[in-house]
């Protein structure tokens, strides 16, 4: 790339202007909101910040968020591996339709994602009367929150693994099989090591969304303080009660999670050449 050819490269002045405009835009729309979260949480000092986090309701919210992620992420990881095995290692009709169906939750509004479970399990839903008669609570309780989260995060792992496994083909597995390995041995000793970083990448994104989901969870949770509030819902309650410092303190925790996710994701991209499977997250 020879220095500056005015017809194939922009002038230094144009280059600098474009970079400056890009920085300004990102500062205004990305960095300022991020800084605002931490500044808002620390507005009254560390003590108030920590008090907001150790508040009993906040602790319940943190515990519930961890529980929901601990259930829904493994479920979707197992599904994602199974789905990508079937889709990437075999040829069959209707493959692209199946992939589109798996991606479906990405194109459904979070609020609609919550609504469909209310229609199924809510008091006036299909199974509502039966559930009430048997004393089972799904909506306005933890099972509903888990269901809505599983729905919303459904495609994440599969979406990362399908292109990765398709690219790797099935030569390694076929070699293992011809050497006498069983199906499970082939999976554990050949496939899993091949896809581990891609799997981790998908799990990271899935987890970030599971812990941060707001709209879908908001519909099914019922916002019962100290019982069915996840961290994002707790942020909303505190904010609506004008406890801005408390809201931003809990939000800081979620923002830190986002930063850790971004950092780990970037490391995976650089070190292991994992690339993003399209932009539709």
Partner 1 sequence: MGRSTRRSALPGFGLTMGMTILWLGLVVLIPLSALVIRAAGMGWDAFAEVGLSPRALAAYRLSFGAALAAAAVNSVFGLLIAWILVRYEFPGKKLIDAAVDLPFALPTAVAGIALVALYSDNGWVGSLLAPLGIKVAYTPLGVTIALVFIGLPFIVRSVQPVLADLGRDVEEAAATLGATRAQTFHRVILPAIAPALLTGFALAFARGVGEYGSIIFIAGNAPFKSEIAPLLIITQLEQFDYDGATAIACVMLVLSFALLLFVNLLQAWRAKRGTR
The nearest distance, CB 41 to partner 1, in angstroms, is 10
The answer to whether 115 and 219 are in contact (CB under 8 A) is yes
Q: Give the whole-angstrom CA distance, residue 269 versus residue 264.
A: 9
Cα–Cα distance for residue pair 239/224, rounded to 1 Å? 16
C-alpha to C-alpha distance for 219 and 111, rounded to whole angstroms: 7
State yes or no: residue 232 binds partner 1 (CB under 8 A): yes
Q: Does 202 bind partner 1 (CB under 8 A)?
A: no
Residue 265 binds partner 1, judged by CB under 8 A = yes
Least distance to partner 1, CB of residue 53, Å: 15
Query: With binding defined as CB under 8 A, does residue 255 bind partner 1?
Result: yes
Residue list 142-161, contact with partner 1 (CB under 8 A): 147, 150-151, 154
- Are 187 and 174 a contacting pair, CB within 8 Å? no
Residue 138 to residues 74, 130, 144, 222: CA-CA distances in angstroms? 20, 12, 5, 11
- Interface with partner 1 by CB under 8 A: which range of 53-61, 130-138, 193-201, 272-280? 272-280
Report if residue 272 touches partner 1, rule: CB under 8 A. no
Give the separation between CA 94 and CA 148, rounded to whole angstroms. Answer: 27
In whole angstroms, the minimum distance from the beta carbon of 56 to partner 1 comes to 21
260, 63 contact by CB (below 8 A) = no
85: closest CA among 194, 203, 179?
Answer: 194
CB of 105 to partner 1, least distance (A): 6
Instruction: Write out the binding residues for partner 1, residues 28-57 only, by CB under 8 A.
Output: 28-34, 36-37, 40
Name the residue among 189, 198, 199, 234 with its Cα closest to residue 56.
234
- Cβ atoms of 221 and 60 within 8 Å: the answer is no
Considering the complex, state which of residue 55 and residue 77 has its C-beta at the smaller distance from partner 1: 77
Residue 105 in contact with partner 1, rule: CB under 8 A: yes
Residues 64-103 as x/- pattern, contact with partner 1 by CB under 8 A = --------------xx--xx-xxx-xxxx-----x-xxx-
- Any contact of residue 279 with partner 1 (CB under 8 A)? yes
Question: Does 59 sit near partner 1 (CB under 8 A)?
Answer: no
Q: How far is the CB of 6 from partner 1 (least distance, A)?
A: 7
Rounded-to-integer distance, Cα 217 and Cα 72, Å: 13
Name which position in 67, 226, 243, 244 contacts partner 1 (CB under 8 A). Answer: 244
User: For partner 1, which stretch binds (CB under 8 A), given 44-52, 54-62, 104-112, 193-201?
Assistant: 104-112
């Amino acid at each position: 790339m020879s220095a500056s050819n005015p017809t194939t490269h922009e002038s230094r002045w144009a280059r600098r202007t474009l970079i400056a405009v890009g920085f300004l835009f990102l500062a205004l729309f990305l960095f300022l909101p991020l800084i605002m979260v931490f500044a808002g949480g620390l507005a009254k000092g560390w003590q108030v910040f920590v008090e907001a986090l150790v508040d009993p309701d906040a602790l319940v919210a943190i515990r519930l968020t961890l529980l929901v992620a601990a259930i829904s992420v493994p479920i979707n990881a197992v599904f994602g591996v199974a789905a990508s095995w079937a889709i990437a290692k075999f040829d069959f009709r209707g493959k692209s339709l199946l992939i589109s169906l798996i991606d479906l939750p990405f194109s459904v509004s979070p609020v609609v994602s919550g609504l469909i479970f209310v229609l199924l399990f809510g008091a006036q839903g299909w199974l509502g009367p039966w559930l009430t008669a048997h004393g089972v609570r799904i909506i306005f309780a933890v099972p509903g929150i888990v269901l809505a989260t599983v729905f919303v995060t459904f495609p994440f792992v599969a979406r990362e693994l399908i292109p990765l496994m398709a690219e790797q083909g099935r030569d390694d597995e076929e070699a293992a099989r011809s050497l006498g390995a069983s199906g499970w041995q082939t999976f554990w000793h050949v496939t899993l090591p091949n896809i581990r970083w891609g799997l981790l990448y998908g799990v990271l994104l899935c987890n970030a969304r599971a812990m941060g989901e707001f709209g879908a969870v908001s519909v099914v949770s019922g916002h019962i303080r100290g019982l069915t509030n996840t961290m994002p819902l707790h942020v909303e309650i505190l904010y609506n009660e004008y406890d801005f410092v408390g809201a931003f303190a809990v939000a800081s925790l979620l923002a830190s999670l986002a930063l850790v996710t971004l950092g780990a994701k970037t490391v995976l991209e650089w070190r292991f050449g994992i690339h993003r499977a399209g932009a539709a997250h």
